[in-house]
């Protein structure tokens, strides 16, 4: 039987968060790509292998799932250093963008070459994965998960490492044994009630009607959980996330201070870091940009709060709303202040911002682990029946 490895990958609009194997490997890669040439110039090429591969991802992709095939990309931090980098646009569907697949394949290939889980022959690694990932509720409700899953299954997706530290010249052939795609709101719920061993940790939540507002880069999902399931009719998705506001902040900083920030990730860092929050360096001087970030983020928080108010009005028996996702970490203080001043809903945030950001990847890991455990159990039962019949 072919060896399969777990990949639980959250292709977030801000970054990819991924867990692999038995949680022995995790990856965080900013969701930025840039088309590039095959032989990118590198200063100090002899020192290349001393650099971090995650920060120097340079690959060529071959996959029938891609609209643009056989293209060379810089991925993640390396892509932010170019002037042709792209981030996902507001209004786009995650399931229909090449960029989503580029990030997915790049992260899995990086795990395959670095984990030593698969045999390598002539610089080629054949890697089999069982994938757990997710899509926004809106896209799942529109049935886009079916097409996305079929693109991934049944084909071989090849990632060729070009000028990448330690892995230059290696090729990874990725094949998926199974692909499980979960609605993001339900995944957040699973993460709230189960630990990594799939034991229930928050029993008091199991039979409550709760809301989960997941604020991402490009979209906001509000899942209504009742009877331990997402209520498909009540769940709502909105084409609004933090990306546009981050771009607005980036543009205002550029026009007012002449400072060019590489990506939205830099803006998030300015807003959320522990020290020197809302400060940038201008000509070597520490400069406060709180006036810029404050009015833009407050306007976005008002819109997000309006979504909550409208959904809660239609689901009046809800007991609590959990805010999750990278956008919630950015807007937490504004949403709390608005709620204290206005409706006073029972809302909850994760004080550990890292927990909120990694929530989806952790949930996919739990769900796909559970799926494999049940599949293994069923197989054993079938083998028992076959033995009896013989």
pLDDT digits (tens, 9 = 90+) for 178-193: 999 998 877 778 878 8
Structure confidence by residue, pLDDT tens digits, 334-354: 999 999 999 999 999 876 777
pLDDT at site 176: 97
CATH fold match for the domains 5-40+50-182 and 187-241+302-357: yes
Mean of the per-residue pLDDT values for the chain?
Answer: 88
- Residue 23 pLDDT > 80: yes
What mean pLDDT is predicted for residues 166-180?
Answer: 96
The HSE-up count of residue 180 (CA atoms within 13 Å, CB side) is 22
Assign domain 5-40+50-182 one CATH number from 3.30.420.40, 3.40.430.10, 3.90.1200.10, 3.30.360.10.
3.30.420.40
What global pTM score does this model have? 0.86
Residue 123 reports pLDDT greater than 90: yes
Mean pLDDT of 55-78: 94
Residue 120: pLDDT band with limits 50, 70, 90: very high
Options 2.40.110.10, 3.40.50.620, 3.30.420.40, 3.90.1150.10; CATH of 187-241+302-357? 3.30.420.40
pLDDT of 322 above 60: yes
Q: Quick one: pLDDT band at residue 137, thresholds 50, 70, 90?
A: confident
Residue 43 has pLDDT above 60, yes or no: no
Q: Where are the domains of the chain?
A: 5-40+50-182, 187-241+302-357, 243-293
């Amino acid at each position: 039987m072919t060896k399969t490895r777990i990949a639980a990958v959250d292709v977030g609009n801000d970054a990819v968060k991924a867990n692999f194997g038995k949680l022995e490997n995790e990856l965080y890669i900013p969701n930025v790509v840039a088309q590039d040439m095959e032989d990118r110039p590198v200063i100090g090429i002899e020192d290349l292998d001393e650099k971090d591969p995650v920060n120097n991802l340079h690959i060529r992709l071959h996959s029938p799932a891609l609209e643009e095939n056989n293209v060379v990309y810089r991925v993640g931090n390396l892509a932010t250093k170019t002037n042709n980098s792209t981030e996902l646009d507001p209004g786009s569907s995650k399931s229909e963008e090449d960029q989503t697949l580029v990030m997915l394949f790049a992260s899995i290939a990086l795990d395959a070459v670095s984990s030593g889980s698969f045999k390598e022959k002539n610089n080629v690694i054949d890697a089999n994965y069982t994938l757990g990932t997710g899509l926004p509720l809106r896209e799942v409700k529109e049935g886009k998960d079916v097409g996305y899953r079929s693109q991934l299954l049944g084909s071989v997706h090849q990632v060729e490492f070009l000028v990448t530290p330690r892995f230059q010249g290696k090729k990874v052939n990725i094949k998926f044994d199974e692909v499980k795609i979960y609605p993001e709101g339900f995944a957040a719920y699973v993460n709230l009630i189960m630990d990594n061993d799939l034991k229930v940790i928050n029993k008091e939540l199991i039979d409550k009607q709760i809301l989960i507002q997941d604020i991402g880069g490009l979209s906001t999902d509000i899942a209504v959980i009742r009877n331990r399931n997402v209520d498909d009719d009540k769940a709502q998705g909105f084409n609004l996330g933090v990306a546009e506001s981050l771009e607005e902040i980036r543009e205002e900083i550029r026009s007012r201070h002449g400072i060019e920030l590489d990506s939205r990730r830099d803006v998030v860092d300015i807003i959320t870091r522990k020290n020197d929050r809302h400060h940038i360096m201008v000509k070597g001087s520490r400069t406060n940009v709180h006036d810029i970030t404050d009015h833009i983020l407050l306007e976005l928080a008002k819109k997000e709060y309006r979504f909550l108010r409208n959904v809660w009005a239609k689901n009046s028996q809800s007991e609590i709303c959990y805010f999750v996702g990278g956008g919630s970490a950015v807007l937490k203080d504004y949403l709390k202040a608005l709620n204290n001043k206005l409706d006073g809903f029972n809302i909850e945030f994760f004080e550990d911002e890292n927990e909120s950001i990694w929530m989806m990847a952790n949930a996919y890991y739990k769900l796909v682990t559970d799926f494999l455990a049940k599949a293994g159990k069923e197989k054993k039962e079938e083998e028992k029946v076959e033995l009896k019949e013989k």
